[in-house]
Amino acid sequence: MTQSINALRAKARKMKLMAFDVDGVMTDGQIYFGPDGETLKVFHTLDGHGLKMLAACGVTLAIITGRTSKMVAKRAADLGITHVIQGREDKGVALEALAAELNIDASEIGYAGDDMPDIPAMQWAALSFSVPNGHISARSSADIVTECSGGAGAVREICDFIIGARPNAESDA
């Protein structure tokens, strides 16, 4: 963390869009295959509740992932996340295009990622997060590295940080 906590909170206070990678951030990064070859992912309920609370504070949520999965679409739908971009390795380009579509400035955007394909989005966003089980390149690029691992409460930690930085945080949470 190269910036002061107060500077990071000031950025979090301005968040209008928070985008997340899936594998390694919203999940533990492991990919499970069922007996018929289907891909299975495990999501944490704490993260889901955090995402709902963050959305209730007026922050638009997005998912940008390099893989394509029906499970990601299902999880996003369950959480009310309508901006889901799958099958994109060019995550910085995808985030910038989404921001333009939503007319949101980069200074009002956060991104959470865990590996090299996430770095362009992390560098473009005003506030970036990674996880302790992420690749060193992503951790080094992040403004904040969560204490919780991906898939084990990291997303909730990110949501709590952003919510806690907002005015009237006590009444939001």
- Rounded average pLDDT over 155-172: 84
What is the percentage of the chain residues whose pLDDT exceeds 90?
87
CATH-assigned architecture of domain 5-166: 3-Layer(aba) Sandwich (3.40)
Q: pLDDT (tens digit, 9 = 90+) per residue, 51-70?
A: 999 999 999 999 999 999 89
Q: List, in sequence order, every residue forming a beta bridge with 85; answer none if it has no partner.
A: 64
Domains of the chain, residue spans: 5-166
For the chain, give the secondary structure using H, E and C: CCCCHHHHHHHHHCCCEEEECCCCCCCCCCCEECCCCCEECCCCHHHHHHHHHHHHCCCEEEEECCCCCHHHHHHHHHHCCCEEECCCCCHHHHHHHHHHHHCCCHHHEEEECCCHHHHHHHHHCCEEEECCCCCHHHHHHCCEECCCCCCCCHHHHHHHHHHHHCCCHHHHC
pTM greater than the 0.75 cutoff: yes
